[in-house]
Amino acid sequence: MAGKLMTLGLTLALAAFIVPQQAQAEQLSGNELKNLVNGKRIYLATPFGGEFPLNYKPSGRVTGDGTALGLGRFFAPRETGKWWVKGNNLCQQWPTWYNGKPSCFTIKKTGEKTLRWVRQDGMKGKARIDG
């Protein structure tokens, strides 16, 4: 019985720690998104253990470069497209990546320089802001 109470206590203590951490994620709105990425480099975490940089220019252009990750074997490793904010979504479109179709994301700020994103098709990941 004491073991069950100890386990329950540990579970409640852990839940009390985890829930506030998750509650801190801040959903960003249109203007907040624009201010967040405009003129910044965002690094997407990849499953290969590296990061994929996206450079969001004030002109509405975005450049992605997967050269350092060796992505040239699979597709053009570097490409420049356009970005914009639509409602509460950050959207981008590339000339050839994703078959040239636009994709939009919701962004949650999880720390001063960290983000979580969810693409319209349900794909999700983490990123960090530089600059």
- Residue for token pair 């009390």: 16
Got the DSSP string for 51-88?
EEEEEE-TTSEEEEE-GGGTGGGTS-SEEEEEEEEETT
Q: Any idea which of 7-21, 66-80, 82-96, 114-128 has the lowest mean pLDDT? A: 7-21
Q: Which residue segment(s) compose the domain that 38 sits in? A: 27-130
Which CATH number belongs to the domain containing residue 48 in this structure? 2.40.128
pTM listed for this prediction: 0.74
- Write down how long the chain is: 131
Number of separate domains in the chain: 1
Residue 22 lies inside a defined structural domain of this protein: no
User: What is the share, in percent, of the chain residues with pLDDT greater than 90?
Assistant: 54
- pLDDT value of position 96: 92
Residue 66 lies inside a defined structural domain of this protein: yes
The H or E element that residue 105 is part of is strand 103-109
Mean pLDDT of the chain: 79
Give 55-85 pLDDT, tens digit per residue.
Answer: 999 999 999 988 777 655 556 678 999 999 9
